[in-house]
Amino acid sequence: MGCKGLAIGMLLLIGYCSTVVSGSIECSPVGSLMAVCSGFLNFGAPEPMLGSPCCKAMYSLNSMAATTNDRKEVCRCLVSLMATYNPNASAVARLPALCGVYLGFSAQPNLDCNSVP
Ligand SMILES: *[C@@H]1O[C@H](CO)[C@@H](O)[C@H](O)[C@H]1NC(C)=O
């Protein structure tokens, strides 16, 4: 198993094993959705195409982030995933826009999720 498989496995692990729950959204679905994009998130390439499995995961993530509180929870999940897995930060920040999705915030490792509108 190469690096790519390992990285995907690690992202899946947090998706399925994460038990930290705060607020109404669980982080494990967020981790599972992000894991669909793990190739791009780890290497910054290739960029996901509209309608690809990765973008479909972003559409699902966007629909989870329907209210301000939900967006904050999704934000917290993304920040904690980034802290754990140290993906390509610019790839994380660009990912939703590449799929035509606007989450209401730009995911960055040091983002203050309380400031999410
Ligand atoms: C992160 O991704 C960008 C493209 O989105 C790429 O240019 C850059 O080289 C990547 N950085 C690392 C450390 O892989």
* Residues 86-95 pLDDT 10s: 999 999 999 9
Which of 25, 84, 23, 116 minimizes the C-alpha distance to 107?
Answer: 116
User: One-letter amino acid identity for 6?
Assistant: L
63 found inside a domain = yes
The CATH number for 84's domain is 1.10.110.10
7 found inside a domain = no
Substitution candidate for ligand 1 out of 41, 47, 54, 90 with most atoms within 8 A of CB: 90
Q: pLDDT tens digits, residue range 30-55?
A: 999 999 999 999 999 999 999 999 99
Q: Residue with the nearest Cα to atom 4 of ligand 1?
A: 44
2 found inside a domain = no
User: Treating both helix axes as pointing N-terminal to C-terminal, what angle do 89-98 and 53-64 enclose, rounded to 10 degrees?
Assistant: 90
Structure-token pair, residue 85:
């897995």
- What does pTM read for this prediction? 0.78
14 found inside a domain = no
